[in-house]
Amino acid sequence: MKEKLFIIKIGGNVIDKEDDLKTFLEDFSKITDKKILVHGGGKIASQIGTRLGIEPNYHEGRRITDDETIDLVTMVYGGLINKKIVAQLNAFGSLAVGLTGSDANSIIAHKRPITDGVDFGWVGDIDQVNTRFFNSLLTNGITPVLAPLTGNIEGHILNTNADTIASEVAQALSDSFETHLIYCFEKPGVLKEIEDENSIVDRIDRTQYKQMCESGVINTGMIPKLTNSFKALRNGVSQVVIGHSRNVLSLTKNDFQQCTRINL
């Protein structure tokens, strides 16, 4: 029987709120199974960029990354946010190390080509995950903390969606582990009404997903999350769940009372 591995992505407004993030990290540190944390950038990169005169630009929930923006997100994602998270996890007793995909060529990507007239700039689509490297860290009791940055074979850093990184790492490591992918943010799951936290969709498959996209219930940032969820399940990942950051411990213990479970 394969050993369990939890790949947990934390994002949304949780990253921006110091107390909420601290509570999540304390709970995350209590997970006794092997684990990997992938974090987004929240609104911090946009806020700092605005102060520097770099306005954010998005297309379907994904940041368009020009020359100025790749420097900004490298500084904020790979430096400020990543190292603050690593420092707190180590304080809570987790032996954590902060990484980008460029470190040890852990996640190699290529620059996304112009598609349907949209140029995403320095945005990366993942080609390869260095499973040997991640296996080595996990075997030695080290928890990788991944910033949403990858590298290409020419040595350029690429901005890469954190939901995608979590999904691709989970798929790549599914040969070695029973991988469980959990997306955590400030909501208890996919909601029928964004302002009503009791309107949770407890299960969602691809047919429902298509219908909810067409009706406008699902849009912007939730699209890459669900797209990556379905891909993960098709490629060896045992389970995908979307839920609130405050419920992360319950979700790792198969307590699915408040969350959205993804089915094919």
pLDDT digits (tens, 9 = 90+) for 189-219: 999 888 898 999 999 999 999 998 888 888 7
Q: Which residue has the tokens 């939730």?
A: 222
Here the tokens at position 150 are 């990858």
- pLDDT tops 90 at residue 224: no
Alpha-helical runs (H) found in 14-127: 18-29, 44-51, 67-75, 82-91
- What CATH number should be reported for the domain holding residue 93? 3.40.1160.10
Total domain count for the chain? 1
Here the tokens at position 89 are 């996890």
Here the tokens at position 77 are 């994602």
On whether the CB atoms of residues 218 and 209 are closer than 8 A, the answer is yes
Cα separation, 213 vs 172, whole angstroms: 28
pLDDT-derived band at 221, boundaries 50, 70, 90: confident
Q: What is the mean pLDDT of residues 24-53?
A: 94
Here the tokens at position 162 are 């954190």
The whole domain housing 80 covers: 4-262
pLDDT-derived band at 61, boundaries 50, 70, 90: low
| Residue 250 zone, left/alpha/beta (φ > 0; ψ -120 to 50; rest) | alpha
